[in-house]
Chain A
Amino acid sequence: MQFGIFTVGDVTPDPTNGRVPSEAERIQAMVTLALKAEEVGLDVFATGEHHNPPFVPSSPTTMLGYIAARTERLLLSTATTLITTNDPVKIAEDYAMLQHLAAGRVDLMMGRGNTGPVYPWFGQDIRNGIALAVENYALLHRLWREDVVDWKGRLRTPLESFTSTPRPLDGIPPFVWHGSIRSPEIAEQAAYYGDGYFANHIFWPKEHTQRMVGLYRQRFEHYGHGSADQAIVGLGGQVFMREKSQAAVDEFRPYFDNAPVYGHGPSLEEFTSQTPLTVGSPQQVIDRTLSFRDYVGDYQRQLFLVDHAGLPLKVVLEQMDMLGEQVVPVLRREFAALKPAHVPEAPTHESLKRAATVGS
């Protein structure tokens, strides 16, 4: 099983002192977190993609390319890549290039993006969100698998004798996850292609995740990619830890109360009981995370959100130390002991390459 962190890249004032990091600081902090992820033994670093303040990561492959050069083992991913407003041709090119530079340590997660104003900035319309996700990905899928593509769709200019360069490393396209909170069409899309499905699992009750993962698994089997329990599932999660549970709650509360998205709404106690957010000791995080398996089955990737809502870098790095030293080693052992042999690990470049060699 893979463990890692995903970051939204928000520039949010620290509510305890009003301090706002500069964009430069935030960007450097994101890089620091990626390097720290490798240092503490995590497997994955995934960055968000946003095109409006207060977010900094508009250019994921630039950042991931830089991180690739400074890491050895870390898998670089996205959470999410906007399949709606990005040109699928540019996604094909950018991520194939990144794959070469990172020696295959790349996968990516498709998402639609729910910020209405972003769509028209890129010549699109949010009402076409699902249609764009479906058509653009269908094209992207072909661009990575066919050397020469003739293509005509409804939402992008046609292509005639087009070759996307560079070709994917070793002829193996990056593995793709599809992220969606509650659109069954996207779970269906992931199942159709035999790609991974990732549930955000942060802002919503577990019942949403359970339904969407259940649908994806059932349709994965329907499309003949394997049995339902062999489908490739990833989950988000949000944690804040201190050795003493009450200390974690006290320290995190002002960040929670003022956080973008859910701040000024439910209490920390309500939100932790109604969503997967866990604020407490490392042992509480271990127990809660293991319980995810009860409603999604054996899954392949767990990403934690640790750096949002204005938390200072120093505190976030402490969180990552605890993840690396106390939480993830136990989760690895426990999840591995529970997982039946016929349930696969998440595909990587190396595993896909081996499968292709065996298959040819």
Chain B
Amino acid sequence: MTSRTLAVVTAGLRQPSSTRLLADRLSAATVDELSSRGFTVSSTVVELRDYAHDITNHLLTGFSSPPLRSVVDGVVAADGLIMVTPIFTASISGLFKSFADMLDDGTLAGKPVLIAATGGTARHSLALDHAMRPLMSYMRAVTIPTGVYAAPEDWSASAPESSSAALSARIRRAAAELAEEVARRETKPPADPFELTTTFEDLLRGE
């Protein structure tokens, strides 16, 4: 049986975190979709909160602590990514953006990514499309069309059934889209930043 890896990055800050909750549902749905296509899937969740100091230190020094290094290596090596952030002050969270800032150029290029967010009000849902999607485009990730945004009414026990059902439907659709992209790509090793990509003769010729 063929295997695939998923990395789930979540930038929620509280315990329990609705961002983590959404990440878990997206992850489970994607694993189901891939399993039904005959893949064995290993999925890893990264809580950025656990690495908040290390991420700041990376911004200051330019290198990662060994624990953060292995997190980044895992994200960069995964066949598919699920990125989930809370929306703070009209945009993705600073912690999530700082994590994105420390990824080397091109390390997400061609990688299927599902973007998702949680927020205190449904009015911020477009932050996914005006902040998260352009960020992933810049990193040349392959962002799947469905972004999943969850507002308080989607979770609440008193929510109208249509609202939580709609969230479940969006999760399923997004998971199916991500699984499709992950399934049709071969697993490939991540780029090595130390690899020499040119010959010295080419460099001398200015190429």
Hey, which bits of chain A sit against chain B, CB under 8 A? 130-131, 134-135, 138, 153-154, 182, 184-185, 187-189, 192, 203-205, 208, 211-212, 215, 219, 261-262, 264-266, 270-271, 274
Given A188-B203, A261-B61, A265-B57, 7 other A-B residues pairs in contact with their CB atoms under 8 A = A182-B193, A188-B200, A203-B62, A204-B62, A204-B63, A266-B57, A274-B66
B198 partner, pick from A185, A261, A274, beta carbons under 8 A: A185
Contact status B204-A212, CB under 8 Å: no
How many angstroms between the C-alpha atoms of A261 and B195 in the bound complex? 26
Nearest Cβ distance between residue A265 and chain B, in whole angstroms?
4
Name the residue on B nearest A130 (C-beta): B203
With a CB–CB cut-off of 8 A, which chain B residues contact A271?
Answer: 61
Secondary structure dominating the interface of A: helix
Is residue B196 contacting chain A, with contact meaning CB distance below 8 A?
Answer: yes
Chain A residue with Cβ nearest B194: A211
Shortest Cβ distance from residue B55 to the other chain A in the assembled complex, whole angstroms: 11
Which of these, B56, B60, B194, B196, contacts A262 with CB under 8 Å? B60
The complex places the Cα of A185 from the Cα of B199 at a distance, in Å, of: 9
**A204-B63, A266-B65 known; A134 and B194 CB under 8 Å?**
no
Q: Is B206 an interface residue (CB 8 A)?
A: yes
Interface bits B164-207 vs A (CB < 8 Å: 1, else 0) = 00000000000000000000000000000111101010011010
For the complex formed, measure the closest distance between the CB of B61 and the CB atoms of chain A, giving whole angstroms: 5
Contacts of B198 in A (CB 8 A): 185
Which residue of B63, B203, B204 contacts A274 across the interface (Cβ within 8 Å)? B63
Return A336 CB to nearest CB of chain B, in Å: 31
A184 to B63, CA, bound (A): 17
Q: How far is the CA of A135 from the CA of B202 in the complex (A)?
A: 11
C-alpha spacing A182/B193, complex, angstroms: 8
Residues in chain A near residue B193, CB distance under 8 A: 182
B: interface residue count bin:
10 to 19
> Residues 11-52 of chain B: 1 if any A CB is under 8 Å from the residue's CB, otherwise 0?
000000000000000000000000000000000000000000
Please indicate the chain A residues that have their CB under 8 angstroms from the CB of B200 in the complex. 134, 188-189, 192
B194, A184: Cβ atoms closer than 8 Å: yes
Q: Looking at the assembled complex, report how far the CB atom of A50 sits from the nearest CB atom of chain B, in whole angstroms.
A: 19
Contact of B61 among A153, A185, A192, A265 (CB under 8 A): A265
With a CB–CB cut-off of 8 A, which chain B residues contact A189?
200, 203
Is B206 within 8 A of A131, CB to CB? Answer: yes
| B61→A262 contact, CB < 8 A | yes
Q: Which residues of B sit under 8 angstroms from A182, Cβ to Cβ?
A: 193-194
Assess the B206–A184 pair: CB atoms within 8 A: no
Residues of B within 8 A of A187 (CB): 196
Q: B56–A265 contact, CB under 8 A? A: yes
User: B195 to chain A: which residues have CB within 8 Å?
Assistant: 184
Contacts of A211 in B (CB 8 A): 194
Complex Cα distance A154/B203, Å? 12
Alpha-carbon separation in the docked complex, A265 to B61 (Å): 7
Chain B residues whose CB sits within 8 angstroms of the CB of A219 once the complex forms? 196
Q: Is the CB of A138 within 8 A of B204?
A: yes
In the complex formed, the residue of B with least CB distance to A192 is: B200
Structural contact, B63 and A270, CB atoms closer than 8 A: no
B residues near A266, Cβ cutoff 8 Å: 57, 60-61, 65
- Nearest CB to that of A128 among chain B residues? B206
Q: How long is the Cα–Cα vector from A271 to B63 in the complex, in angstroms?
A: 11
Residues of A within 8 A of B204 (CB): 134-135, 138
| A274 vs B54: C-alpha distance when bound (angstroms) | 12
Known contacts A265-B56, A270-B65, A185 near B206 by CB under 8 Å: no
Q: How far is the CA of A208 from the CA of B193 in the complex (A)?
A: 10
Q: Which of B57, B61, B66, B203 contacts A203 (CB 8 A)?
A: B61
Determine if A212 and B194 form an interchain contact, defined as CB atoms under 8 angstroms apart.
Answer: yes
Give the complex CA separation of A171 and B183 in angstroms: 64
Residues 52-86 (chain B) with a chain A CB within 8 angstroms: 56-57, 60-63, 65-66
Chain B residues whose C-beta falls within 8 Å of the C-beta of A131 in the assembled complex: 203, 206
Residues of A within 8 A of B206 (CB): 131, 134-135, 153-154
| Contact between B61 and A184, CB atoms less than 8 A apart | no
Contacts A/B (CB < 8 Å), 16 sampled: A130-B203, A131-B206, A134-B204, A135-B204, A184-B196, A185-B203, A188-B196, A188-B200, A189-B200, A189-B203, A192-B200, A203-B63, A204-B62, A215-B194, A219-B196, A262-B61
Given the complex of chains A and B, what is the CA–CA distance between A134 and B200 in angstroms?
A: 9
In the complex, are the beta carbons of A274 and B194 less than 8 A apart? no
A25–B183 alpha-carbon span in the complex (Å): 66
Instruction: Known A138-B204, A189-B200, A204-B62; judge A270-B57 contact (CB<8 A).
Output: yes
CB distance from A318 to the nearest CB of B (A): 27
- Minimum distance in angstroms from B58 CB to a CB of chain A: 9
